Amino acid sequence: MLRISGPDAGAALRALTGRPPPPERRATLRTLRDPRSGEPIDRGLVVWFPAPRSYTGEDMVELHHHAGTAVARALAEALAAVPGLRPAGPGEFTRRAFLKGKLDLAAAEAVADIIGATTRAQLRQALRQSEGALGRACAHWRERLLEASALLEAELDFADEEADVGHGQRERIRPLVADVRDEILAALATAERGERLREGLVVAVVGAPNVGKSSLVNRLAGREVAIVTAVPGTTRDPIEVALELGGVPVTLVDTAGLRDTDDPVEREGVARARARAGAADLCLLVVDASRPELVPELATEPEDRLVVVNKIDLAPLPEAFSGRGDVLAVSCRTGAGLDALVERLALCAAERCAGGESALVTRARHRQALEEAAAALDRFLEAPEAVEPVLLAEELRFATAAIGRVSGQVDVEELLDRIFARFCIGK
């Protein structure tokens, strides 16, 4: 599909079909011709969206052509010959839609997330965002803070006259600001899970050499991604596999067995394994049931770890591991216990991500801006009675501006290039 947006969209439609754009939104089957030679290129659906009822808010035409390389190239060449047209930059359509006020900035960013989503849970979150959930919340917060600012301005105006009038205002402003601050904090509480779902969860598989880490990764992946041998120290480089668990995108990382060694190659592998374990959202610590004494020290928090006792076909679950909620017994050889492990992993993934209920804050950019806003509101609320109203007004202005940056209501010009550069062409 090719899209043309802007004041020359109508001229482009006329050049390719020989007819003027219809008076209203319409889809018609047309022969598309090269305007220079009149030679037919393809026959396809031409959809006309007159401004302002289009994605960009400008006149827009979509050419639904056959997907052949020659067709696409011939159409692109034909369009290049139409005066005023040029190829769109990355994300330019969505950028124009934003500039025309068709969507707020957070919703525009969500368009990229819809395209990038690999699981249903991610898609659900991106869709909600693209419908403007965060933008609406920001607009509401801003409105109330502007109201508080206006009340404070009144206090400034009266400052020279009756001191009582000023303080009366401040008592009215305080609960307003406190409410907004609390709502922002509540939204921020979902941020970590929202960002995790956007970016996916990293699960590192770690343990002593030869305990069956690579066998486990292969079992979970359902294919032979990692080399398995009876030789301890087989895996050296971390190996990543993409999986979906309970709607959450998961990157499973197989790592080198942790042990002290003189082999410089293996030592590097062990260092990388430790680094991956440290950076992972969750570690699967694999233990060999027949050699339960081989449990390496890990620096990760216990709640970010599950212990997988493997090879229970060789030996029963060792005493030290039985009756523990964080332990799962499996055999990569027979497949015993693997379903329960997958179920448990899906549960852990859902807990760590906004799987069920959707998060409002899903990007570091949004989180940082809202954290700045909440901090400014805190300073406002904690300021002693004697503080000059001018300084308080400044905190409110700061918070309002930070919130505005999320939805794109204030000074975002410098942000736009950065945001839309990551889009693909044609969106």
Ligand X SMILES: Nc1nc2c(ncn2[C@@H]2O[C@H](COP(=O)(O)OP(=O)(O)OP(=O)(O)O)[C@@H](O)[C@H]2O)c(=O)[nH]1
The contact set with ligand X (CB under 6 A) reads: 209-215, 228-230, 232-235, 256-257, 310-311, 313-314, 331-333
Cβ of residue 232: shortest distance to ligand X, in angstroms? 5
Q: Decide whether 67 or 230 has the Cβ nearer to ligand X.
A: 230
Decide which of Mg ion, ligand X, none touches 361; Cβ closer than 5 to 8 Å per partner kind. none
Helix/strand/coil for 34:
coil
Decide which of ligand X, Mg ion, none touches 233; Cβ closer than 5 to 8 Å per partner kind. ligand X
Q: Decide whether 9 or 220 has the Cβ nearer to ligand X.
A: 220
- Binding piece for Mg ion, criterion CB under 5 A, among 39-47, 98-106, 232-240, 402-410: 232-240
Phi then psi for residue 362, to 5 deg, are -125, 0
Residue 170, Cβ neighbours under 10 Å: how many?
16
Beta-sheet strand order (sheet of 248-254)? 239-245, 248-254, 201-207, 282-288, 305-310, 327-329
**Cα torsion through 95, 117, 47, 76, rounded to 10:** 70
Q: Decide whether 169 or 235 has the Cβ nearer to Mg ion.
A: 235
Q: Decide whether 272 or 365 has the Cβ nearer to Mg ion.
A: 272
Q: Decide whether 225 or 346 has the Cβ nearer to ligand X.
A: 225
Decide which of Mg ion, ligand X, none touches 311; Cβ closer than 5 to 8 Å per partner kind. ligand X
- Binding piece for Mg ion, criterion CB under 5 A, among 63-71, 195-203, 212-220, 239-247: 212-220
Helix/strand/coil for 69:
helix
Decide which of ligand X, Mg ion, none touches 212; Cβ closer than 5 to 8 Å per partner kind. ligand X
Burial class, 381, CB count within 10 angstroms (exposed 0-12 / middle 13-18 / buried 19+): middle
Task: Kindly write down the DSSP assignment for every residue of 88-110, as one continuous string.
Answer: PPBTHHHHHHHHTTSS-HHHHHH
Take residue 172 and report the two structure tokens written for it.
Answer: 């009215």
Cβ of residue 373: shortest distance to ligand X, in angstroms? 47
Cβ of residue 312: shortest distance to ligand X, in angstroms? 7
DSSP secondary-structure letter at 408? Answer: T
Beta-sheet strand order (sheet of 40-49)? 2-5, 60-64, 40-49, 26-33
Q: Are 330 and 216 in contact (CB under 8 A)?
A: yes
Among 5, 130, 235, 358, contact with Mg ion (rule: CB under 5 A): 235
Q: Are 49 and 55 in contact (CB under 8 A)?
A: yes
Contacts by 20-26, CB closer than 8 A, 24 or more apart: 21/48, 21/50, 21/59, 21/61, 22/48, 23/50, 24/50, 25/49, 25/50, 25/53
Q: Decide whether 168 or 233 has the Cβ nearer to ligand X.
A: 233
* 209-235: b (≥16 Cβ within 10 Å) or e: bbbbbbbbbbbbbeeeebebeeeebbb
Cβ of residue 31: shortest distance to Mg ion, in angstroms? 60
Q: Decide whether 129 or 214 has the Cβ nearer to Mg ion.
A: 214
Residue 210 near Mg ion by CB under 5 A: no
| DSSP H or E run through 310 | strand 305-310
Residue 214 near Mg ion by CB under 5 A: yes
Q: Decide whether 248 or 307 has the Cβ nearer to Mg ion.
A: 307
Cβ of residue 228: shortest distance to ligand X, in angstroms? 4
Helix/strand/coil for 206:
strand
Cβ of residue 229: shortest distance to Mg ion, in angstroms? 8
Cβ of residue 227: shortest distance to ligand X, in angstroms? 7
Q: Which of 323, 79, 359, 320 is nearest to 199 (CA)?
A: 359
Cβ of residue 207: shortest distance to ligand X, in angstroms? 6
Residue 125 near Mg ion by CB under 5 A: no
Decide which of ligand X, Mg ion, none touches 230; Cβ closer than 5 to 8 Å per partner kind. ligand X
Cβ of residue 254: shortest distance to Mg ion, in angstroms? 6
Q: Decide whether 236 or 427 has the Cβ nearer to Mg ion.
A: 236
Give the residue at shortest CB distance from ligand X.
257
Contact residues for Mg ion, defined by CB under 5 A:
213-214, 234-235
